[in-house]
Amino acid sequence: MDIVIVKNYIEMSKVAAGLVRDCIREQEEPVLGLATGGTPIGLYQLLVRQYRAGLLSFKHMRTFNLDEYIGLDPAHSKSYHRYMQEHLFSHIDIPRDQTFLPDGMASNLEKECRHYEKLLKKFGPPDLQILGIGENGHIGFNEPGSDFNGHTHVISLADSTREANARYFQSLEEVPTHAITMGIKSILHSKKIVLLASGERKAAAVRRLLEGTPDPTFPASALSQHNDVVLIADEKAFGN
């Protein structure tokens, strides 16, 4: 794993934006794996800025998001569909039908997971996958105990994840209990993985990640099985 330690959130976002820009410029039809949460918002803002400055086009890009809450309509203010529209897609020139997220409203969730995995096979794997890390080590919504060989599946969210994400909702009760997430195996298929971590809240998770021992109770440790991972952490996440 390559480790880049930067001063703060803005610097983390800048380094990540540079890697995404390089990937988009190198590939004729780039495929990007995208994350949600607070961590990549700065990265998306910088990508939008580059697009507006005419430095980058997303016309030929396809994107796959890691996860979506079950039971939230795409138009729901806290759905990841809406998040992606608000933070990235509606501001850039990517055609709508080139952006993929799992459908958390599907009547047959198992079928939806198989369908998403098929799309990943057809258009993927991502040339570059952006990841955040949960305080409990989750990647996507793969909670502690998740199978390292897992593909896209339905997951019951850990209480600690619902509590951590309650800050994005009005109350803890509003946070969905389940999600669809790409599995750890699906994530590991990506050609390159860029893991972002910012702030003290992530310091314990980053410390454990750097121990490097694969351990299913700490999902991010599966990244030690991939040969092209870049961790971009700011000083607080790195424990400085």
> What's the rounded Cα separation, in Å, for the pair 151 and 136?
20
68, 112, 143, 234: the catalytic one is: 143
Which H or E run contains 5?
A: strand 2-6
189 is catalytic: no
Min separation Cβ 87 and ligand F6P, Å: 12
Residue 126 binds ligand F6P (CB under 6 A)? no
Min separation Cβ 164 and ligand F6P, Å: 7
Could you identify the residue written with the tokens 């951590």?
A: 164
Exposure of 76 by Cβ count < 10 A (0-12 exposed, 13-18 middle, 19+ buried)? middle
Residue 132 binds ligand F6P (CB under 6 A)? yes
Min separation Cβ 219 and ligand F6P, Å: 11
Q: Which stretch binds ligand F6P (CB under 6 A): 4-12, 33-41, 208-216, 217-225?
A: 33-41
Per CB under 6 A, which of residues 35..64 are in contact with ligand F6P? 35-39
Question: Measured from the CB atom, is 33 or 132 closer to ligand F6P?
Answer: 132
Burial 178-190 (b: 16+ CB within 10 A, else e): ebbbbbbbbbbbb
With CA atoms as reference, report the closest residue to 127 among 14, 196, 209, 28: 28
The set of residues, in sequence order, having a beta carbon less than 8 Å from that of 188 and lying 6+ positions away, is 222, 223, 225, 226
Min separation Cβ 16 and ligand F6P, Å: 12
Residue 165 phi, psi (nearest 5): -85, -5
Residue 131, strand partner residues = 195
Question: Measured from the CB atom, is 39 or 152 closer to ligand F6P?
Answer: 39
68, 117, 127, 138: the catalytic one is: 138
Per CB under 6 A, which of residues 134..193 are in contact with ligand F6P? 134, 141, 161, 165
- Residues in contact with ligand F6P by CB under 6 A are 35-39, 132, 134, 141, 161, 165
Among all residues, which ones are annotated catalytic? Answer: 67, 136, 138, 143
